[in-house]
Structure 1
Amino acid sequence: MSDAILANAPLGHDVSYPDAYNPALLFPIDRSLNREKLSIPHTWFGADIWNAYEISWLNPKGRPVAGMARFTFAPDSPRLIESKSFKLYLNSFNEEHFASTEQVRERMAHDLAQASGSPVAVGIDLGIGRESQLCQPMDGMCIDDTDIEVTIHQPSASLLRCTPDAPLVTETLMSDLLKSNCPVTSQPDWGSVQVRYTGPQIDRGALLAYIVSMRRHNEFHEHCVEQIYCHIWQACQPQSLLVYARYTRRGGLDINPWRSSQPAEVSHIRTPRQ
């Protein structure tokens, strides 16, 4: 990601929190800037799922309304939204009066579609009648106890391989050891990642070494998932593949991108670290 492109982003700068609704706070970034470096094998499916835990506005009488929201961006939208700008945008609703929750939802959906270049699904939950939400690890066989030696600290498809005489399998593997870094501030981004595939069996130690190699990699969450997906596809040549990451919360937001070679469903249940 070019430093010049991110120079005007709120990330890495001191900014004042807005006291009025302002959609111009959203800072979109072209996805193509990162995808030009990837050998994307085909049309993929997926989404970028953002959960926002600090949503608020005022009703017509000035009483605050508070809730949570989920935003689902299509992977083929031309642009993603830089996270600090998203947080500032959501905070711009805090002192604004709205007639209804639906009016807020429609306004957010409109603004985010304009910024990203594609429709965005928006759901707002006010918590009425809501029971405590459960947390659980991502599905799959955890590979984190695999005994490996780590010598490479930047992601490379050459780290990945299948097992000798690899049988054809369908399996789901997961790791809680995903860490990448913000491309602007170098702040760590912590997450869990799930790899669901059918194809020649992937060597679990090699996969874990690859995941750990992201540890010094500076890139946005969405781009990290796309890079993992493309590298596995190139190195292991599965018949089908899904890569899903759930990153921990920062600034009241968590980001959960997934990419798949075919239509799929993913769980929205928070991991224990979220």
Structure 2
Amino acid sequence: MSHHRPDTLAHAPLGRESAYPEHYDAGLLYPIERAANRAPLGIEEGALPFVGEDEWHAFELSWLNARGKPIVAVARFRLPADSPRLIESKSWKLYLNGFNQTRFASRDEVVAILERDLARAAGTAVSVELFGVDDEALAPRRLPGECLDDRDIAVDDYTPSAEHLGVGEEVVEETLYSHLLKSNCPVTGQPDWGSVLIRYKGPRLDRDGLLRYLIGYRQHQDFHEHCVEHIFMDLMARARPERLLVLARYVRRGGLDISPWRGTPGERPPLPLRLARQ
């Protein structure tokens, strides 16, 4: 399969039995057009209502040096939200596994190859950083702001409903978060566990309603990136904040974690923010 060709989930490796590659193969990357999943949310390519990135960490990256000795690293990838394509996660894992028994002259060569292949698949430049396993940059941290999870609410709706989102008249600037985010893989149905942070300036969000809304993703089937965009669009439509940042940090699966964020222009997440569950 050419890594230049975007495709649909019909032929993706996700949910299929796969043979793990023994050597490097850029053709394993499986790009998927973002537009199809954005259209139902009223998001038009070329006129995105947000800025953002999909941040990935790969914890199972290894290759051989010129003398055949294994090298291990943790990789951080940042894929811009305005890229025309995302990369399906299992194909990314298979691609990275192809490095395991392949010799490379240097760490810089590995970075250059990763940047080249991922950019071709995504349709735009992708940032690549490599870290040692014990690097302080990978130390887990806590989310800032106020946690919503101890609120004593009754819940009977486990599908996303913007009707739960209510606001008051007071304009505030605050950061709220929850560790109760859960969605499901749209192909395999496997659970995707995560935490979500919402930082905004605008009419004060009703906390009980916001928590009910976030819990509503519990049976929702979608990719991590699309869940974050769904949350962003619903909050913009219902609360109309002056500024908004939505950041989700999903628990790793298959050696990869995905942490997308979307914000109004000028917003940036408080990095680094790897959590203990990741």
TM-score range, shorter chain: over 0.9
1:159 and 2:164 correspond: yes
1:184 and 2:225 correspond: no
Output the amino acid matched with 2:95.
Y
**Gap runs ≥5 in structure 2:** 1-6
1:11 and 2:14 correspond: yes
CA distance in 2, matches of 1:204, 1:43: 24
Alignment of 1:59-138 (within 5 A): 59-127=65-133, 130-131=135-136, 133-138=138-143
SS of 2:213's equivalent in the other structure is helix
**Gap runs ≥5 in structure 1:** none
Alignment of 1:1-274 (within 5 A): 5-40=8-43, 43-127=49-133, 130-131=135-136, 133-163=138-168, 166-266=169-269, 267-274=271-278
Equivalent residues of 1:245, 1:256 under 8 A apart: yes
Indicate the residue corresponding to 2:4 in structure 1.
none
| Structure 1 segments (4+ residues) deviating >6 Å | none
Cα displacement string for residues 150-208 of structure 1 (whole angstroms, at most 9, x for unaligned residues): 12221122221113xx2000000000000000000000000000000000000000100
SS of 1:211's equivalent in the other structure is helix
Output the amino acid matched with 1:13.
R
CA distance in 2, matches of 1:265, 1:155: 25
SS of 2:225's equivalent in the other structure is helix
CA distance in 2, matches of 1:216, 1:179: 8
- Residue 42 of structure 1: how far off its partner (Å): 5.2
- Residue 131 of structure 1: how far off its partner (Å): 4.5
Cα displacement string for residues 124-166 of structure 1 (whole angstroms, at most 9, x for unaligned residues): 1235x73484323211100111122212221122221113xx2
Output the amino acid matched with 2:277.
R
- Residue 222 of structure 1: how far off its partner (Å): 0.3
Equivalent residues of 2:137, 2:272 under 8 A apart: no
Equivalent residues of 2:54, 2:260 under 8 A apart: yes
Cα displacement string for residues 72-107 of structure 1 (whole angstroms, at most 9, x for unaligned residues): 000000000111110000000111111001101010
Deviates more, 1:141-150 or 1:108-117: 141-150
Aligned residue pairs, count = 268
CA distance in 2, matches of 1:43, 1:162: 21
Equivalent residues of 2:177, 2:196 under 8 A apart: yes
CA distance in 1, matches of 2:114, 2:166: 43
Output the amino acid matched with 2:96.
L
CA distance in 2, matches of 1:17, 1:133: 27
Equivalent residues of 1:46, 1:263 under 8 A apart: no
Percent identity for Structure 1 against Structure 2: 49
